[in-house]
Amino acid sequence: MARMTMHVNIDCTETNTWKLLQAHYEEIQNTTLNNLFHQDPKRIDYLSFEEGKFFFDFSKNHLTQETIGLFKKLASEVNLELAKKAMFEGEKINQTENRAVLHTALRNLDNNPIYLDGENIMPLVFNELEKMKLFNQKVESGQHSGFTSKKINSIVNIGIGGSDLGPNMVCEALKPYWRNDVTPYFVSNIDGNHISNILKHLDPETTLFIIASKTFTTEETMTNAKTARHWFLKKGSLSDVSKHFVAVSTNEQKVTEFGIDANNMFKFWDWVGGRYSLWSTIGLSIVLTVGYDNFLSLLRGAEKMDKHFKEAPFEQNAPTLMAFLGVWYNNFFNAQTQAILPYDQLLAHFSKYLQQADMESNGKSIDRNGQTITHQTGQIIWGEPGTNGQHAFYQLIHQGTKIIPCDFIAAAKPPHALIAHQDILIANFIAKTEALMTGKSPETVEKQLKMQGLTDDEIKKLMPFKVFTGNRPTSTIFMNELTPETLGSLIALYEHKIFAQGVIWNVFSFDQWGVELGKQLAGTILKEIRNNSVNPQHDSSTQQIINKYLELKRT
């Protein structure tokens, strides 16, 4: 491990190429996207390409061939290829936890050997895949039924973080592929409103709960799991729990103590990070919702993107180019956010999913050498599906004072027959990238206002508000249709983009120590609330809020 990783911990800002990029930025920062197209009408030829069932267009970004060349040199200086090799081959690149990062092994359907500590882990992966396949067959056929022999028709995944966001997003995205006789639900929030509102819709005789917790001790998940079990026991008995509860975990003792049959415990491993776990048995809810074959297609799509990331040349390597674009805007243009804008209602949860994947991965201020970072890392990821967003926050993107790079994502073929809807949707999808780039000049505004019959004075007053400066960067990701396979590729595309950015910024992308402190303090405060006690270690504000809660709780 040390032999491979000791050579990749490089401060990007200290490289010679970073200095060249800074000089290049100063040269082109005032060159508009319109001017870049005017200067080089053929830029679309080298800034767009097809890969499998995807079309990528990066031409509406502040890039030139020189920019691409400099980023290629930076990739070499930060040893990106070596870092990729270390990840795919099972080196323990998550050094703060001494773990490998091998979510890519979960979709290694070619079954090429992948060794970890001298052991080929692929038999472990395929054993769990087979176990999910067989369990799905039993549920689908009715062989695994409820305690009154009724067929299971509701699947409730209880998890949090990656154990919820990933499978929830995928199930929503693949709604056209749902089995007709099953409905999935997802419970994550400790707020009792979440689980209580879902339980209202369920029948304990036909509901299967999946408790997704690696340690089977996660407070939010286990509190919700116990609430679900209590609800179930109003109709069923303790001996019936094993028919209605299964676990995705590594803690067999805790699982069996809960009442779950050890044979219905699905395993995953410490080399699978939570926010990269939907490909593992955490995806059991996906399997039960869309079927095992569609889950395999999801894996196959991700595997194709893995190969693209490993093998494609820099100039046509989509995750790598997206990673460098993020660095370009974040570190040079001072754009702190990035909008993910899928023009597909099925991808309604995709931006939220990427918030965790990206911000939990690269939201770090300490580099891989343990030193405080002096440059910006991590982008603030946000977004909503189009066209809803056009009537909400696009005003800020078009005419606000902030630069907000946007990823526009769409599928050409819809899963429905409402072609008129699709034509309008895609027209807006295409038009927005053009409008954000070209804007609307004062001359155009003046001409349009004159055609409306306004006087010169009226035009003079109104014109500043009607002008769009344009020059807002966008990237286009266009797929033929949203299928399990293309969805798998799309998710893996962003996974690798996040990884490559982490390498450039020299951070460990696969730990998340920042979430631990809040959990620890919450545990302390919970004891104080239950014991009605005072802790002099709290600041006056925190103690006052605790006191206020206790007061309101009593009234």
- Which residues, 6 or more positions from 420, have their beta carbon under 8 angstroms from its beta carbon? none
User: How far is Cα 24 from Cα 63, in angstroms, rounded to an integer?
Assistant: 10
Cβ atoms 222, 260 nearer than 8 A: no
Q: CA 361 from chain center: how many Å?
A: 10
> Considering 42, 391, 416, 553, which one is annotated as catalytic?
391
**DSSP-derived pairing of the beta strands 380-382 and 207-212:** unpaired
User: 230, 264, 231: which is closest to 245 by C-alpha?
Assistant: 264
* CB count in 10 Å sphere of residue 422: 17
List phi, psi (to 5°) of 499: -60, -45
Q: Does 360 participate in catalysis according to the annotation?
A: yes
Tokens 């990062």 -> residue: 101
Q: Which residues contact 431 (CB under 8 A, 6 or more apart)?
A: none
CA gap 417, 414 in Å, rounded? 7
End-to-end CA distance of the chain: 59
Q: Go through 85-120 and write b for each residue having 16 or more CB atoms within 10 A of its CB, e for each that does not.
A: ebbbebbbbbbebebbbbbbbbbbeeeeebebeeee
What residues contact residue 180 under an 8 Å CB cut-off, 6+ apart?
none
**Nearest CA-CA partner of 501 in 27, 140, 111, 80:** 80
- The radius of gyration of the chain from alpha carbons, rounded to an integer in Å, stands at 26
Coil, strand or helix at 86: helix
Q: Which of 205, 220, 360, 446 is catalytic?
A: 360
Residues 460, 519, 527, 548: which is the catalytic one? 519
Instruction: Tell me: cis bond preceding 387? Omega within 30 of 0 counts.
Output: yes
What token pair was written down for 202?
């369920």
- Residues 364, 506: contact at Cβ < 8 Å? no
* Cα(63)–Cα(44) distance, integer angstroms: 11
- 């974040």: which residue's tokens? 330
Six-digit token pair at 484? 């399990």
Q: Could you list the active site residues?
A: 360, 391, 519
